[in-house]
A and B are shown apart, each in its own frame.
Chain A
């Protein structure tokens, strides 16, 4: 289940970039695993709910939430696809479209054995693009 969520480092980078969407999970202090506010009601929290500059409490987006945020806020549309070589599936690659800037970024030499590795690499690249804007 944890693979649905952004790792700590990327969750922190997203917060620094202004990510403030409602999330189910939180990183708490030095805990290595995110925690969930279990309750009868469906409960979500935003980084601004804590106003915590120490980052003791840090919300954890799902990968799709993070990708949605980049798509909606920065028009950065990303995808992960199978990579084939001579019709044999060898792994996965990711690509990023920035349609308003007519920029297309894809590195076909960079490919990954698993979908999850490509997904994380894509998120790291999106963070890098926005940080350097």
Chain B
């Protein structure tokens, strides 16, 4: 199930870009005797005492929906006989590199979306 969620780094960037939709997952970044701990939790109340490094953990499909609805970018991941390629259509056109797994293509697509919006 965890692979449905965007990684911490991208989730934090999405927060910076203004993503603020309801989520089931949250990354808690807390300082403890063991250093910084990152934790995926479903309890949003836990977010409150922690710093700005904590953030919501959107599902990939949620993040993609957000880019589609807010910016008109439509991501797709295509499977060509076990090789994968991400594409963006709609208000932009982009073709990603070949990847060995669906998840790699999905992450590449999310990174590209973030890059496009950051450079707007």
Kindly state the separation between the CA atoms of A41 and B21 in the bound complex, as whole angstroms: 21
Determine if B24 and A24 form an interchain contact, defined as CB atoms under 8 angstroms apart.
yes
For the complex formed, measure the closest distance between the CB of B4 and the CB atoms of chain A, giving whole angstroms. 6
Interface flags, B55-85, vs A, CB<8A=1, else 0? 0000111100100100000101111111000
- Residues of B contacting A24 with CB < 8 Å? 1, 24, 42
Interface flags, A73-103, vs B, CB<8A=1, else 0? 0000101111000000100000001010000
Determine if A65 and B43 form an interchain contact, defined as CB atoms under 8 angstroms apart.
no
Determine if A64 and B59 form an interchain contact, defined as CB atoms under 8 angstroms apart.
yes
- Residues of B contacting A1 with CB < 8 Å? 21-24
Determine if B4 and A77 form an interchain contact, defined as CB atoms under 8 angstroms apart.
no
Interface size class of A (residues with CB under 8 A): 20 to 34
Main secondary structure of the interface of B (DSSP, over half): mixed
Contact of B41 among A40, A79, A115 (CB under 8 A): A40
Determine if B90 and A82 form an interchain contact, defined as CB atoms under 8 angstroms apart.
yes
Kindly state the separation between the CA atoms of A122 and B22 in the bound complex, as whole angstroms: 25
Instruction: Tell me if B89 is interfacial: C-beta within 8 Å of chain A.
Output: yes
- Residues of A contacting B41 with CB < 8 Å? 40-42
- Residues of B contacting A113 with CB < 8 Å? none
Kindly state the separation between the CA atoms of A89 and B102 in the bound complex, as whole angstroms: 27
In the complex, residue of chain A having the shortest beta-carbon distance to the beta carbon of B43: A40
Determine if B1 and A115 form an interchain contact, defined as CB atoms under 8 angstroms apart.
no
- Residues of A contacting B1 with CB < 8 Å? 21-24, 44, 65
Chain A residues proximal to chain B, CB less than 8 Å? 1, 4, 21-24, 36-44, 62-65, 68, 71, 77, 79-82, 89, 97, 99, 115
A-B pairs with beta carbons under 8 Å apart, 17 shown: A4-B65, A22-B1, A23-B1, A36-B24, A38-B42, A41-B41, A42-B25, A42-B42, A64-B4, A68-B102, A77-B78, A79-B77, A79-B78, A81-B89, A82-B90, A99-B82, A115-B68
Given contacts A64-B60, A99-B80, 14 further A-B contacts (CB under 8 A): A1-B22, A1-B24, A22-B1, A36-B42, A40-B43, A42-B2, A62-B59, A64-B59, A65-B4, A71-B102, A77-B78, A79-B76, A79-B78, A97-B79
